[in-house]
């Protein structure tokens, strides 16, 4: 249970470090597995906990975030927990208003329209003042996990956050945000730099609060081609890894493994392999062998089952998992979906996925 805070230090001893070992490239007895959006609407208990609450009010309640983070671990033998939060808390910390509109998703009441709108953003963000509720949720959850599995913290990456701040919500083309990259490159870099600086402090704060790994979500990488990615996404992705690591060292905090998940960015895998991350997350649109060939042997891969495969009968899920493990290999690999779980998925099929990863990877490792 998520009873309120004990001392932030003196965390319980970790009992299952398979996920961290795989992330660092050490040998594991089984392939670790977790799911993006594992704390989510596909679980009836999640819908029940969330029912009476505004979405972002839930994000601001450490007790609720803790409860939602733990729910999937009560059902499935997952190898990691990921803190329940949202990538859009960072634009909120910059002073933008975001509301969750039923049937539409996250919506900015006043998106950035003109370059002058950048002046409305907080130029210096005190992450503890603005995002301290996430740090509290992480500390509380780390205690409440009782060392069962490691806890992952996360943030959206600068381009992905910028695209939401300009589009005002989801978009199929990202035309407004991309037009900034072509029309206002200097202003785009100013915004991306501002975001990167906040993200760096935010991620370091998450480790100080108890996060044992960090994932950076460049969810909208697929809207950029190789050139735009090279100019407007990659430099900040690199910089975040480097700056987070040097700040962790300076503050004598643990050097935790970092994961970069750039969705639909096959064109950038070689660059991402040298961006300073221990793990590269893959979506389902690339063959495991191809990813491994481009990324090389020194980086752990994570992914990449098509989330829709979980609609298949359980036996079929087992076959697909076996094939995936044979393609990636069971070492230097973390099993996951190629994107998050969808709200209408059957929890039993999620369980079948998790158990298949454990069973097949153990079998492959023995033989």
CB atoms < 10 A from the CB of 52, how many?
A: 8
Q: Which domains does the chain have, with CATH numbers?
A: 17-308+329-345 (3.20.20.210)
Gap between the Cα atoms of 324 and 304, Å rounded: 8
Query: Position of tokens 């603005």?
Result: 130
User: Which residues have a Cβ under 8 Å from the Cβ of 177 and sit 6 or more positions away?
Assistant: 162, 163, 166, 167, 171, 223
Token pair of 248 as six digits: 């962790």
Residue 2 above 90 pLDDT? no
Residue 5 above 60 pLDDT? no
Mean pLDDT of 236-241: 99
Q: What is the pLDDT of residues 101-111, one digit of tens each?
A: 988 999 999 99
Residue 6 above 90 pLDDT? no
Give the side-chain half-sphere CA count within 13 A for 319: 6
Share of the chain above pLDDT 90, in %: 96
Q: What is the pLDDT of residues 188-200, one digit of tens each?
A: 999 999 999 999 9
pLDDT band of 284, cuts 50, 70, 90: very high
Gap between the Cα atoms of 347 and 285, Å rounded: 24
Residues annotated as catalytic (active site), given as ranges: 37, 41, 50, 86, 164
Give, as one character, the DSSP assignment of residue 208. Answer: H
Predicted local distance difference test score (pLDDT) of residue 4: 63
Q: What is the pLDDT of residues 340-364, one digit of tens each?
A: 999 999 999 999 999 999 999 999 9
Answer yes or no: are the C-beta atoms of 155 and 216 closer than 8 Å.
yes
**Rounded mean pLDDT of the chain?**
97
Gap between the Cα atoms of 303 and 261, Å rounded: 9
Token pair of 62 as six digits: 């450490």
pLDDT band of 187, cuts 50, 70, 90: very high
User: For the whole prediction, is pTM greater than 0.95?
Assistant: yes
| Calculated CA dihedral for residues 121, 122, 126, 132, nearest 10 degrees | -40
Give, as one character, the DSSP assignment of residue 5. Answer: P
Angle at 97 between CA 92 and CA 99, to 5 degrees: 105
Query: Position of tokens 């503890």?
Result: 128
């Amino acid at each position: 249970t998520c009873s309120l805070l004990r001392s932030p230090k003196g965390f319980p001893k970790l009992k299952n470090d398979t996920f961290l070992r795989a992330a660092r490239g050490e040998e594991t007895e089984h392939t670790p597995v977790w799911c993006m959006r594992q704390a989510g609407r596909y679980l009836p208990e999640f819908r029940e906990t969330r029912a009476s609450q505004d979405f972002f009010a839930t994000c601001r309640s450490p007790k609720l975030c803790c409860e939602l983070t733990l729910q999937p671990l009560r059902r499935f033998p997952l190898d990691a927990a990921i803190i329940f939060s949202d990538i859009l808390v960072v634009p909120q910390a910059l002073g933008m208003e975001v509301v969750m509109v039923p049937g539409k998703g996250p919506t900015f009441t006043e998106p950035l329209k003109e370059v002058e709108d950048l002046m409305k953003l907080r130029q210096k963000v005190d992450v503890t003042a603005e995002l301290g509720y996430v740090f509290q949720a992480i500390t509380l959850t780390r205690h409440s996990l009782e060392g069962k599995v490691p806890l992952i913290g996360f943030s959206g990456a600068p381009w992905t956050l910028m695209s939401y701040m300009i589009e005002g919500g989801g978009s199929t083309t990202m035309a407004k945000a991309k037009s900034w990259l072509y029309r206002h490159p200097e202003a785009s870099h100013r915004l991306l730099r501002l975001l990167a600086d906040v993200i760096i402090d935010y991620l370091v704060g998450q480790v100080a609060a108890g996060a044992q790994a960090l994932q950076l979500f460049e969810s909208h990488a697929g809207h950029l081609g190789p050139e735009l990615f090279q100019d407007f996404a990659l430099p900040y992705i690199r910089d975040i890894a480097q700056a987070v690591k040097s700040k962790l060292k300076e503050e004598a905090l643990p050097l935790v493994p970092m994961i970069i998940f750039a969705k639909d960015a096959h064109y950038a895998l070689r660059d991402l392999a040298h961006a300073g991350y221990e793990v590269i997350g893959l979506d389902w649109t690339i063959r495991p062998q191809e990813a491994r060939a481009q990324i090389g042997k020194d980086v752990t891969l994570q992914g990449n089952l098509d989330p829709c495969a979980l609609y298949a009968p359980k036996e079929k899920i087992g076959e697909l998992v076996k094939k995936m493990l044979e393609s990636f290999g069971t070492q230097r690999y973390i099993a996951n979906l190629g994107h998050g779980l969808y709200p209408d998925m059957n929890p039993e099929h999620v369980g079948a996925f998790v158990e298949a990863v454990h069973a097949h990877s153990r079998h492959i490792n023995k033989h």
